[in-house]
Amino acid sequence: MSFSDDYIVNPLKYSLSNSKAFLTYIIVSFFPDILAVVFVMVISIVGFLGIMDSQGLSSRMVNVLLFLIIMVIYYIIAILAALISKGYLVTVIKTTVEGDSILPKWENWGNLAFKGFSLAIFTFILWLVFILILMIIGFLSAIFSIIGYSAGIQSPNLLSFLVMVGLGISAGITFLMYYVLALSNYATKERFGAFFEIKTLSKMMSWKLLGVLITMVVIAGILFVPVIIMYFFTMAFVGNPVLFIIFIVITLLLVVVLVGISSFYLSRCLGIYYKSKLENKPEFNNIEDNVKI
């Protein structure tokens, strides 16, 4: 298959290959947002009615207590929903590598949450390392400027700035490539140590992967062009409350659908690339890699 088939046509078709799984992902991903609206309505109604508790506390105190309880419940549900939805995307990558052509079923939600949690921990660790690298680059840039002034170099600040930007961009691209490969590696092997197989993952980096990432960003951006168009249509009806609300609802529904499509599209692309590297380089598939830790 051609590059466009592998990283544009196939992933987009795949995104809508299982309507039930697609709808479930949408519900799980946006359930916290729906819940937030419901909670706001409940708090507003309670405040409007001026409800008093059995102790005679003021409605304002009741509202504060109710707000705190609702916020705790909301954040617990929001975190769980985020972990489960991210865990499902990890499963999408895994099933893609295994050769499946449709979205996987929603099974073992506890395992999905665990995968999402593992991904969150790894992402946090990688961000810390990346920030540390940027701090080192900034420190070296400052040292370079001082040395430049001492050596009589004209505009050392500009030169050090350009060097810093170049190193920062290079580091960012490298970390992004490592991140997506580590994610695919973890999805396939299902063990936390797979995130840190630096030697193996570094061999999978290539100019093709960079091209795939650029393609992914471009296609994801194009997918959301209709949202921009709908925004201007919506603004055109500000003076008409009914049409304005209708267009807002349509725009929000469009955003929800496109978020689902883009999420599955991106995950599918990562799985396809990782699978291609496994097929071309058998040494990436070691027996010991299948042993979970």
pLDDT along the chain (293 residues), means of 10: 91 95 94 82 64 52 76 90 96 96 95 96 95 88 74 65 84 95 96 93 94 96 93 86 88 93 96 91 52 36
pLDDT at 242 (0 to 100): 86
CA separation for the pair 247, 231 (Å, rounded): 8
207-223 vs 241-280: helix crossing angle, rounded to 10: 160
pLDDT at 244 (0 to 100): 87
Which DSSP letter does residue 191 get? Answer: S
pTM recorded for the entire structure: 0.85
CA separation for the pair 249, 106 (Å, rounded): 28
156-189 vs 207-223: helix crossing angle, rounded to 10: 90
Cβ atoms of residues 91 and 187 within 8 Å = yes
pLDDT at 52 (0 to 100): 46
Instruction: Tell me the CB-side half-sphere exposure of residue 93, using CA atoms within 13 A.
Output: 28
pLDDT at 219 (0 to 100): 96
207-223 vs 225-236: helix crossing angle, rounded to 10: 20
Which tokens belong to 80? 């769980």
pLDDT at 155 (0 to 100): 59
Cβ atoms of residues 91 and 104 within 8 Å = yes
pLDDT at 210 (0 to 100): 96
Which tokens belong to 78? 């929001």
pLDDT at 180 (0 to 100): 96
pLDDT at 63 (0 to 100): 66
